Amino acid sequence: MLSSLKSELRKKYLKERKAMSSEDVAFLSEKIFNQYLLQFNVSENQNIHIFLPISAKNEINTHLWIDYFWKKNVNVFIPKMVDNEIISIAYKPDTELALNSWGILEPVSNIAKAVDFDQVITPLLYADRQGNRIGYGKGFYDRFFSSVKKSVLKIGINYFAPDELIQDADKFDIKLDYLVLPDGMLSFLGGPLNSTK
């Protein structure tokens, strides 16, 4: 049934990710990170929003990115959930973190300033070859994308090849600009698909 395709893909890729070993996660995270480095130049004082990985869910190890950004003097921001919405909090090596009700580490501080982000690196379970993404199904990042400037680069990072089309994407689903994979990157800017594979 078409209306359930997103939920079926969500279940499929949750299962596939759960089956990964810690060695798989480390190896593929490194490959995805290296692809990111090949494709994107970051510079001092850029503003980048990124997520902390939930290791129990075998999410990509974004600490590779965060440590690199700090060395480059990039301003790093991470999400915090407030009233079922994402706010973006500055993240530094001494930022105090605590587990939220979902068991996710987030800043203790609620101080969020208006920021012109250069990039938002977003978590996802799956994305297709048109830039449609599937997250955990709560719509948090779609709403967050709606709150930032349109020119911000929306970058998905994922383990899995974009082989299946998400046919039931709706008007509230905001597409990615780029999808970084272990063996290449897809760009969805400027119409037709570009692949750097």
Domain at 42, CATH number = 3.40.50.10420
pLDDT at 190: 66
Binding residues for substrate: 52, 59
Q: Which amino acid appears at position 20 of this protein?
A: M
- Give the pLDDT confidence of 48-93 residue by residue, as tens digits: 999 999 999 999 999 999 999 999 999 999 999 998 889 999 999 9
**Mean predicted confidence (pLDDT) in 33-40:** 97
Task: Reply yes or no on whether the pLDDT at 197 is more than 50.
Answer: no
pLDDT at 4: 73
**Residue 44 and residue 82: Cα distance in Å, rounded?**
29
pLDDT at 169: 78
Structure pTM? 0.91
**Residue 84 and residue 16: Cα distance in Å, rounded?**
27
DSSP of 3-70, one letter per residue?
Answer: GGHHHHHHHHHHHHHHT--HHHHHHHHHHHHHHHHHH----TT-EEE-----GGGT---THHHHHHHH
Binding residues: 6-10, 52, 59, 133-141
- Give the pLDDT confidence of 122-135 residue by residue, as tens digits: 999 999 999 999 98
**Residue 118 and residue 176: Cα distance in Å, rounded?**
14
Task: Reply yes or no on whether the pLDDT at 191 is more than 60.
Answer: no
**Residue 127 and residue 134: Cα distance in Å, rounded?**
6
Binding residues for ATP: 6-10, 133-141
- How many structural domains is the chain composed of? 1
pLDDT at 196: 47
Domain that holds residue 53: 2-195
